[in-house]
A and B are shown apart, each in its own frame.
Chain A
Amino acid sequence: MPSWSNVRADFPILHQQVHGKPLAYLDNGATAQKPRAVIDALVHYYEHDNSNVHRGLHALSMRATDGYEGARARIAKFINAANPAEIIFTRGTTESINLVARSWGQAHLKPGDVVLTTEIEHHSNLVPWQQAARASGATLKYLPVLGADGEGGLDLAALDHLLTPQVKLFAFTHISNTLGTINPVAEFCRRARAVGAVTVIDAAQSIGHAPCDVQALGADFVAFSGHKMCGPTGIGVLYGRRALLDKLAPDETGGGMVVNVTYEGATWKPTPERFEAGTPNVADAIALGVACDYLDALGREHIAAHDAVLARVAMEKLSTLPGIRIIGPRVGAERSGLVSFAFADVHAHDIVTFADEDGVALRGGHHCNQPLMRKLGLTSTTRASFYLYNTEEEIDRLVAALRRTLKFFVGS
């Protein structure tokens, strides 16, 4: 087991005061902090190796290319992809999903087809499918979430009648960024494959928090962001099964992705270059590879266990607060390391402002889940989301901040 107190020492940003209090960073669902090794990798790249990749014959360009392609291979290993060519670098989860929605959607969707997603998706795994359905004439359907607080998870019984042969693609999140629900993604992939549907997993909330084996999952496409797994912002990944990527047309075109260009037209390189037009984000890709090293040195199974302890403690302590409404799995049920909650008389933004004054960083709002919020009869929640460097003491500080806020606004 890693020493979690030593882990905190790896993150320079955590050692600061906010409004005179030690920072308790509980907004990891939005973005994670970066260990020294990742920051150093960025600095090292810009101080020693910075150059454009591919086609370069000088020493720096070769180092940059080796670093960039090495990162691709490292990430392939991180998710157990069969081949590094299955790793496409993007800006993040949103761009990854949009790439599939546009390239795959344009080639395969037609009127009468169904795209299936779920009621608990982040806007980034929802709006692109609305757009793809609109452009193709396909129908978009939603797998419902059960329970007044979304505590019942996705309706697996409904999947039987929703997952018909008309479904060409099934897109779902691994972990809900608002509810904290962990979806049975391997089962979803298996059942989708049985009707011939392609699967897209939004792994943004899970990738840095638990082991991921895309081959064991049986996933066709997996999208995730670097910045939620201790990597830099502006870099993410689309994993696609080779057989699918080889048949896919590019979304963006331009330099770096072509074989032969004439005034009349162009031919495309194979994957992954075909999907990476323009100068790629070399520095951040390399640093993302270092983030993979960092997480694997600690062990993602240990991080998952650490998250689970914090989620359990948070659920037990938060549920004692008067008038709290916690959404997602109930106390004792499996949930990821995040808890979203609401109070009838105190708005999330007032809570976040008060907690901030106590040095506790939270997120308040609709969490890019507007339709889900509406379904649950909420306009916003406050979310505390945990990661490897968080402690039980920080949860106590969260609870104390909430008690102070409640006392101020409702006097209890």
Chain B
Amino acid sequence: MSADLTELYQQVILDHNRRPRNRGKLPTANRVAHGDNPTCGDQCSVYLRMDGDRIAEISFDGSGCAISQASASLMTTQAKGKTGPEVQALFKNFHDIVTTGNAPEEISDLAAFAGVHSFPARIKCATLGWHAALEAMKSDPMPTTTESHLD
């Protein structure tokens, strides 16, 4: 296997792809957003329960390649407990990593996605879940008892 491909499919990514964290709808969600990647057909919904300005609970649901699913999974573990500006800052780091391939030393798990930068077509796969999460944080609160229109 080539160095590029080994770098793309890091163990962390394979692990999140095989055993996604926080996957499925969140019954207590009060925010939701849906992301689409029309060229690939990747889909990702992100469910949030905001407690004040912090993400108390987060989950995702969708389908797509290993990169998009692992990225969404890892994103949920990183975003939980964070505020909007904190998630924005995390995403900026993540975006730098996937577009430049350079990861600052203090960033551990997200650095697994550095290999994406050698595959420009996959950058949008890696960022899909993040975009959905940021969109969900900006969205209007929804009553927790109502099923999402995305069902």
- Min CB gap A115→B, angstroms: 25
Say yes or no: B64 contacts A357, CB within 8 Å. Answer: no
Chain B residue total in the interface (Cβ 8 A) = 21
**Across the interface, which residues of A come within 8 angstroms of B9, CB to CB?**
350, 408
Chain A residue total in the interface (Cβ 8 A) = 18
Say yes or no: A347 contacts B65, CB within 8 Å. Answer: yes
**Across the interface, which residues of B come within 8 angstroms of A353, CB to CB?**
5, 8, 119, 122
A-B residue pair count with CB separations less than 8 angstroms: 46
**Mask of B1-30 contacts with A, CB within 8 angstroms, 1/0:** 110010011000010010000000000000
Chain B CB within 8 A of A348 CB = yes
Say yes or no: A365 contacts B119, CB within 8 Å. Answer: no
**Across the interface, which residues of A come within 8 angstroms of B67, CB to CB?**
349-350
**Across the interface, which residues of A come within 8 angstroms of B17, CB to CB?**
409
Say yes or no: A365 contacts B14, CB within 8 Å. Answer: no
Say yes or no: A380 contacts B119, CB within 8 Å. Answer: no
Say yes or no: A380 contacts B40, CB within 8 Å. Answer: yes
**Mask of A383-412 contacts with B, CB within 8 angstroms, 1/0:** 000000000000000000000000011000
Chain B CB within 8 A of A42 CB = no
> Quick one: which of B89-147 are within 8 Å of A by CB?
119, 122, 125
Chain B CB within 8 A of A366 CB = yes
> Quick one: which of A320-375 are within 8 Å of B by CB?
346-350, 353-354, 357, 364-366, 370, 373
**Across the interface, which residues of A come within 8 angstroms of B122, CB to CB?**
349, 353
Q: List the 5 closest A-B pairs by CB distance, nearest first.
A: A349-B65, A347-B65, A366-B41, A380-B41, A379-B63
**What are 16 A-B interface contacts by the 8 Å CB criterion?**
A347-B66, A348-B65, A349-B40, A350-B66, A350-B67, A353-B5, A354-B5, A357-B1, A357-B2, A365-B40, A373-B41, A379-B43, A379-B64, A408-B9, A409-B14, A409-B66
Hey, which bits of chain B sit against chain A, CB under 8 A?
Answer: 1-2, 5, 8-9, 14, 17, 39-43, 63-67, 69, 119, 122, 125
Hey, which bits of chain A sit against chain B, CB under 8 A?
Answer: 19, 346-350, 353-354, 357, 364-366, 370, 373, 379-380, 408-409
